[in-house]
């Protein structure tokens, strides 16, 4: 089970909004951006289809 299955819909919405904000603020040619949400650090990266969110330890969140 991934961490995203443990989040409520509201929490997922908040996390995604924070990830999108971090991605938009990151330098244009970056491969990933680190951001904080609820006291923990997360890493957001982007594929051609979606934003990917992981904990700093590499656990998939969304």
- Domain positions in the chain are 1-61
Q: What is the DSSP string of 12-55?
A: HHHHHHHHHHHHHHS-TT-SEEEEEETTEEEEEEE-SS-EEEEE
User: Do 19 and 53 contact (CB within 8 A), yes or no?
Assistant: yes
Mean pLDDT, residues 11-23: 92
| Residue 28, pLDDT score | 85
CB-count burial class (<10 Å; 0-12, 13-18, 19+) for 50: exposed
Q: Label residue 5 by pLDDT band (50, 70, 90).
A: low
| Residue 48, pLDDT score | 65
Single pTM value for the model: 0.68
pLDDT at 2 over 50: no
């Amino acid at each position: 089970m991934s961490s995203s299955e443990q989040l409520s819909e509201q929490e997922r919405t908040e996390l995604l909004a924070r990830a999108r904000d971090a991605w938009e603020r990151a330098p244009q040619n970056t491969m990933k951006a680190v951001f904080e949400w609820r006291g923990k650090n997360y890493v957001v990266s982007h594929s051609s289809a979606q934003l990917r969110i992981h904990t700093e330890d590499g656990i998939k969140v969304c």
